[in-house]
Amino acid sequence: MKLLFISLGCDKNLVDSEMMMGLLHDRGYEFTDNEEEADIIVINTCGFINDAKEESINTILEMAKYKENNLKALIVAGCLVERYKNEILQELPEIDAIVGTTAFDKICDVVDDVLADKKHNELESINKMCRPDVKRIITTGGYYSYLKIAEGCDKHCTYCSIPMIRGAYRSVPMDELVKEAEYLADNGVKELIIVAQEITVYGKDLYGEKKLPELLHRLCKIPGIQWIRLLYCYPEEITDELIETIRTEKKICHYIDMPIQHASDKILKAMGRRTNNVELRNIISKLRKEIPDICLRTTLITGFPGETEEDHQILLDFIDEMEFDRLGVFTYSPEEDTKAASLDNQVDEEVKLCRKDEIMELQQEISMDKSERLVGKEIEVIIEGKASDEDVYVGRSYMDAPSVDGYVFINSEEELMSGDFAKVRIVKAMEYDLIGDLI
């Protein structure tokens, strides 16, 4: 039996997908990338914002067409299923089975039963910890991989449905994480990317205090791991101990993804965020003082209910002053059963898009300035592969996370392999990418 696996949404979802694939591999299933060859298709969906929901539904409908050929079973897992299980079962009869966010350890039984013409939908409490003891199938190319250190979230921001989909914050025991990281390193992973809905409060639920620095110290001792990257650090939870750990541990990239969402105190309060404009300035200042070459990535929401032109201008001024190295922005998406969805003064879609464009135009200028400052500098990159041009390779610096940031294009007559580390002298800058020569 051949199985096609499609993983949509975030990197945290990808970790769940890789675990499911590991379980199915152990059960004897083979994998294919060809829809026409697949006997079974499993789609791990995203349901975070409207665009993600549409992508998930469109993918389900597109894959369902292969039932006219060889496809015997279509199984849907993940966030969309958890959020809209009743609607999905009623309105998408093409689906043969569903698997919730905390029930993916039962994926093999679900597949077996569906193939035997038995109905088998798996849904469990969203607060269950689903951590099957399985060797993940690494799908990222082998040299980098994500380590999900916790599940769920306790922040309850007014715009966010994650607590309703993924449950309360639950840390994975440290020994399990170290064991999983060692397995990844043994299988060629050189860059370990630490993820969760929020990584900065790791361990508080299990050990009574934040344990991210201790976890990082242990991960840094693993042979083979050369870079450790931190994603999703909430600004109010970044401690002096964590900053010191990043500064002193040589394997930890001087890179933090710190979503702030906005800079207007009025909007931050309405969002249920735990910081204000002054506090954000303080933590950014401290990070740059203690780690001068730190690369700061952030994420913003524009068009939140009640956002005025004044609020938007406060955000623009903040971006202009703070000069984030990397920045992404989403237009506000009202999610059912969240507090923000019922707020007055919803912003028109056209206004949201205009504000998003203004933010990205400003960030493009900032990014160009920062890129130009790197011309003539030598930086280390990890090779991702070869570009279409001869003697041109694609890599990433410590300032670039996979999938979300830019690339370094390297001129090299010497053959380079994916996962190699190389020294590059930057010769040209673009808004988000760099061009360099191999040293």
C-alpha distances out from residue 193 to 146, 151, 157, 224, 400, Å: 5, 15, 24, 14, 12
Residue that finishes a domain, picked among 373, 399, 425: 373
Whether residue 250 is predicted with pLDDT greater than 90 in this model: the reply is yes
Q: Same structural domain for residues 49 and 193?
A: no
Task: Give the tens place of pLDDT for each residue, 253-263.
Answer: 999 999 999 99
Q: Same structural domain for residues 321 and 279?
A: yes
Task: Give the tens place of pLDDT for each residue, 143-164.
Answer: 999 999 999 999 999 999 999 9
For residue 135, being part of any structural domain is answered with: no
Residue that finishes a domain, picked among 340, 373, 406: 373
CATH code of residue 64: 3.40.50.12160
Does the annotation place 160 within a ligand binding site? yes
Model's pTM, two decimal places?
0.94
Does the annotation place 79 within a ligand binding site? yes
Give the pLDDT score at 388.
77
Indicate the number of domains in the chain: 3
Q: Same structural domain for residues 267 and 322?
A: yes
For residue 158, being part of any structural domain is answered with: yes
Structure tokens at 346: 């919803």
Distance CA 2, CA 255 (A): 40
Q: Same structural domain for residues 265 and 318?
A: yes
For residue 36, being part of any structural domain is answered with: yes
Q: In what order do the strands lie in the sheet with 2-7?
A: 30-31, 2-7, 40-45, 73-78, 97-99
Does the annotation place 10 within a ligand binding site? yes
Helix (H, G, I), strand (E, B) or coil at 96: coil
Does the annotation place 157 within a ligand binding site? yes
Q: Same structural domain for residues 363 and 385?
A: no
* Average pLDDT value for residue range 193-203: 97
Whether residue 86 is predicted with pLDDT greater than 90 in this model: the reply is no
Distance of CA 164 to the CA centre of its chain: 19
Q: Same structural domain for residues 155 and 53?
A: no
Q: Which domain holds residue 256?
A: 144-373
Distance of CA 379 to the CA centre of its chain: 25
